[in-house]
Amino acid sequence: MLNSLKIKNFRLLESFQVKKLGQVNLIVGKNNSGKSSVLEALRIYAGNANGELLAKIAQGHDEKYELDEEEHMFDTTLPFEDLFTGRQFPENDNGIVIGEVDNIEKDLHINHGFLGKKQLSFFNEKRAREQYSIFEDFDGIQENVKDILIIKKERYKSIVDFNRPHLYSRRFPSETNAVPCNFIPTRFVSMNELAKEWDAIALTDGENIVKDALRIILPDFENLTFIDGDRSRNSRIAKVKISNLSKPVPLNSLGDGMLRILQLVLKVFSAKDGILLIDEFENGLHYSVQEKVWKLLFELSKDLNIQIFATTHSWDCIESFSEVAVNYKNVDGVLFRVGKSIRKSDNGRVIATVFDEEQLYNITQSDVEVR
């Protein structure tokens, strides 16, 4: 679990720090302030910046993630440049860094580099003829130069090949295994994906937790199942049994709230001992149920050892989170605001302002504006 967070040279976050994190964290801020970038950085850190994840994130923004040789003749943009502050690779070694504020040993580093051969002396040329090396600068590389990303964590190094970003050329050993991490986007997760999550907890205590969560929205809810849908697409459909109806009905016919809660709770279980990321927590949830959902997430974060990070634009969400964070003594809840610093010395960089329990209490007692 992360006790603090630092992010350097990643998108808008040139030099960003949160000196205190809780087990459940709510991130607030204006549009384009960097909230979603914080979630992305956490995804990348948890996944050790593997090429498949980086490609998926870039694709989601319509950013370049793979090198097309024909296109490269006309387009000088390289894959993954948009991940870096200023949307270009730095000329020095100031690459992306993600980790804890005072724990540099576990920092994740992402730098632009090269794969190739350097000019060899007569004595070792034959032995090393077929060996390629990783270089962080272009100087002296003679043959078959390829642009890559260099990923470092602890004592280990890996690369992401721009021609094959979905494949690791060198993988991290087990000592640096990825942290379990689930991401819930603003749009709804596919039903097939939710069906797999349901299958994993069927006939366990988790199934009853999901059912109780759905009763927050629909007290008459009795049961849930997933059935085969369009066979040509290998799709599945969620159906629910409601106490006053004789036949099951599609869950999608019951409104966005039921689907949003199903997403939130199902994704918790496969994030066990890891991280759950929620973009725009309040989507689909009426303000009157948000406090109950937060209570459930606080409880599950403790039971399953999960660290939760969520973003919001909603005052109702801030208020309900603050109420639960103040009253739930067994789990630390932290709210931090992301936005541009007003100090001239900061040159408008994005910073975090952390609200402690006393300040959260003040939020519950008055209309303190933190957005």
Q: Which domains does the chain have, with CATH numbers?
A: 1-47+271-371 (3.40.50.300), 48-176 (no CATH), 182-261 (no CATH)
Residue 253 token pair: 């016919």
pLDDT, residue 230, reads 73
> 312-335 as b/e, with b when 16 or more CB fall inside 10 Å?
bbbbebbbbbbbbbbebeebbbbb
Q: Which amino acid belongs to residue 232?
A: S
pLDDT digits (tens, 9 = 90+) for 110-152: 999 888 765 555 545 455 444 567 767 666 555 667 889 999 9
pLDDT, residue 367, reads 55
Torsion, Cα of 279, 61, 180, 185 (10° steps): 30
Residue 150 token pair: 């260099």
pLDDT, residue 108, reads 96
With contact defined as beta carbons under 8 Å apart, do 259 and 210 qualify? Answer: no
- More confident: 318 or 178: 318
Residues 6+ apart with CB under 8 A from 211: 221, 223, 224
In the Cβ-directed half-sphere of 199, how many Cα atoms lie within 13 Å? 10
Q: What is the C-alpha to C-alpha distance for residues 258 and 239, in angstroms, rounded to an integer?
A: 11
Mean pLDDT of the residues in the chain: 87
pLDDT, residue 73, reads 57
Q: What is the pTM of this model?
A: 0.90
With contact defined as beta carbons under 8 Å apart, do 25 and 308 qualify? Answer: yes
Question: Mean pLDDT highest for which of 25-29, 120-124, 178-182?
Answer: 25-29
Helices marked H in 18-171 — which ranges?
35-46, 51-60, 69-72
In the Cβ-directed half-sphere of 119, how many Cα atoms lie within 13 Å? 4
Percent over 90 (pLDDT), the chain? 64
Q: Tell me whether strands 275-278 and 181-184 are parallel, antiparallel or unpaired.
A: parallel
pLDDT, residue 219, reads 95
Average pLDDT over residues 92-118: 88
- More confident: 70 or 172: 172
- The overall longest dimension of the chain from CA atoms, in Å, is 86
pLDDT digits (tens, 9 = 90+) for 186-241: 888 889 999 999 999 999 999 999 999 999 999 999 999 999 877 666 789 999 99
pLDDT digits (tens, 9 = 90+) for 33-88: 899 999 999 999 999 999 999 999 999 999 999 887 665 556 678 899 999 999 99
Residues 6+ apart with CB under 8 A from 371: 28, 29, 30, 313, 315, 318, 337
Q: Give the count of beta carbons closer than 10 Å to the beta carbon of residue 223.
A: 13
- More confident: 103 or 232: 103
pLDDT at 180 over 80: yes
Q: What is the C-alpha to C-alpha distance for residues 343 and 7, in angstroms, rounded to an integer?
A: 20
When mean pLDDT is compared across 258-267, 300-309, 336-345, the lowest value belongs to 336-345
With contact defined as beta carbons under 8 Å apart, do 17 and 93 qualify? Answer: no
